[in-house]
Amino acid sequence: MGNIQNPQLSHEWWRGSVIYQVYPRSLKDSNGDGIGDIPGITEKLEYIANLGVEAIWISPFFESPMKDFGYDVSDYRNVDPIFGCNQDFEALIRRAHELNLKVIIDQVLSHTSDQHQWFKESRLNKTNSKADWYVWADATEDGQPPNNWLSIFGGSAWQWDEVRGQYYLHNFLVSQPDLNYHCSEVRKQMLAEVEYWLQRDVDGVRLDAINFCFHDSQLRSNPPKPVAERTGRGFSANNPYAAQYHYFDNTRPENIAFIESLRCLLDRYPGTMSLGEINSEDSLKTMAEYTDGSRRLHMGYNFELLADDFSAEYIRSTVASVEQQCSNSWPCWAVSNHDVARVVSRWGNTFNPLQNQEKVAKLLIALLGCLRGTICTYQGEELGLTEASIEFEQLQDPFGLEFWPDFKGRDGCRTPIPWNPTMPNMGFSDASPWLPIPSEHKTRSVFDQENDPHSVLNFYRNFLHWRGTHDCMKWGTIKFLDHGHNILAFEREYKEAQMQMYFNLGSSTETVSPVGTTVSLCSEAVHIENFSASTTTEVTLEPCSFICTR
């Protein structure tokens, strides 16, 4: 399955790299207001570089009323004052590049904030210069919205606007009106917004909800979805949004041409890349379309491994499906981000309750890093942080506030990083943090783990540095091996090198027969257990353990 034999392709920095996602509100506060910021990220760049990652992806830091914490942009070209200023970002870029770190920024292109000047002008009347920049529609004869489209955040995707006397579309919050990509001026303007940051030396763009740019120009209603098929990725299956096939409100065919225009822009800035977030009715099909060949996105990632499902068979079938359907593109994998429960909690419950969470964290770090492709890790994953329990009165996320208690929102994975237990607020801030640091995270601080050779942090570092020394791990093919129900086994191959990986994802002890002669990776640390054998050796794998042979 999909190999890189062209040496030129293997030197594209983003292929096989490790990308570390920074959620800026929660990494480090530099000015004592309880909210993380750009100078705080710059302060911690050396720590991030020492993890062994090649790039950072920074969630939105642009001007915003913060109703969706930066994913509601009111000015694409300015840093929001709570995060600093444009000069602070320029300093971050310089320092990151000094440390050989690439910088990827999060671009939210499908919608803006209702506080954006474009929307303020668009809503005034039907004849102004921005009148067609957003999706407006007349009410039906009985005053209802033009169709049955729903917002992911609850309720109708249409909001009545008294000023303009029409409904406007919002796939997310009411305060996040959708741009009208059927308008050529909008497409041109959004490419200009991306180019503004390319001119300031960013190395790539992560494209939020990129399949939501276009809507059906005929405003056709979505058909209903049978109850048995209603599932959620990042939201509750009880959310009414899951009750429709979303054929007409997103993932429209016209989006392909815009993606190709975006790629043409990036190609004018050598060394830059694009990573699209894709969550559609058939995410694998959409990802294959959006990343096909060299004319579209460099990479896409879906929500399949951000789901609650976890088993050897599920991961095997998911990865194999991506390899089959996206054979003409380069894969990217993530098991955590700012929108889903932390993976140690989400998947850790699969194992015997006696398994400690540190062991689960190490297994999942290694599993992600052994897959073919580029990988995205989320801040705190290197510490083995668990999902925080946030009380309703502490909740900040509008998604959680809307669907509590069935869905408790995304705040549990967004709590501040615990740096040092000897300092106020674990060294994150001199002030009370915007979200509480849970007590269970206080024993998993960076300070404590630095000094423990068996910590999750030191395993993460050792593993990524080990991974980086093996071309097979970065660029090789992947072939799954048949090795029992609970064992996820596969082979990576690049040129003359071969490596085999065996992961016990079950709750009982399993015996495997490695093909290779040297065990070079195990569940406690990299190279902690090395032995050679001249013949096939049986190895006992405890639950939540793994080996790699070559």
- Torsion angle (degrees, nearest 10) of CA 255, 259, 260, 265: 140
Burial code (b: 16+ CB inside 10 Å, e: under 16) for 387-420 equals: bbebeeeebbbbbbeebeeebbbbbbbbbbbbbe
CATH number of 476-549: 2.60.40.1180
Chain-centroid distance, C-alpha 165:
38
Question: Exactly one of 63, 203, 249, 277 is catalytic; which is it?
Answer: 277
Q: What is the pLDDT of residue 527?
A: 38
Catalytic-residue membership of 277: yes
To which H or E segment does residue 160 belong?
A: strand 158-161
**pLDDT, tens only, 31-77:** 999 999 999 999 999 999 999 999 999 999 999 999 999 999 999 99
Q: What is the pLDDT of residue 520?
A: 59
Q: Give percent of the chain with pLDDT exceeding 90.
A: 79
Number of residues written out for the chain: 550
- Residue type, position 453, single letter: P
On the 0-12 / 13-18 / 19+ scale of CB atoms within 10 A, 200 is middle
**pLDDT, tens only, 94-140:** 999 999 999 999 999 999 999 999 999 999 999 999 999 999 999 99
Tokens representing residue 125 in the block:
């009347």
Question: Exactly one of 208, 249, 339, 491 is catalytic; which is it?
Answer: 208
Question: Rounded to the nearest 5 degrees, what angle is found at the Cα of 83, between the Cα atoms of 193 and 24?
Answer: 90
Task: Please compute the mean of the pLDDT values over residues 421-445 and round it to a whole number.
Answer: 97
pTM: 0.94
Residue whose C-alpha is closest to residue 522's, from 470, 459, 461, 476: 459
| Phi, psi for 298 (deg, rounded to 5) | -65, -40
Q: What is the pLDDT of residue 531?
A: 41
pLDDT of 530 over the 50 cut:
no
User: What are the sequence ranges of the domains in the chain?
Assistant: 7-112+184-464, 476-549
7-112+184-464 CATH, one of 3.10.20.310, 3.20.20.80, 3.40.50.2020, 3.40.50.720 = 3.20.20.80
Tokens representing residue 240 in the block:
């009414």
pLDDT of 350 over the 80 cut:
no
Dist. CA 445–CA 443, nearest whole Å = 6
Catalytic-residue membership of 208: yes
Query: By the 8 A CB rule, do 292 and 222 touch?
Result: no
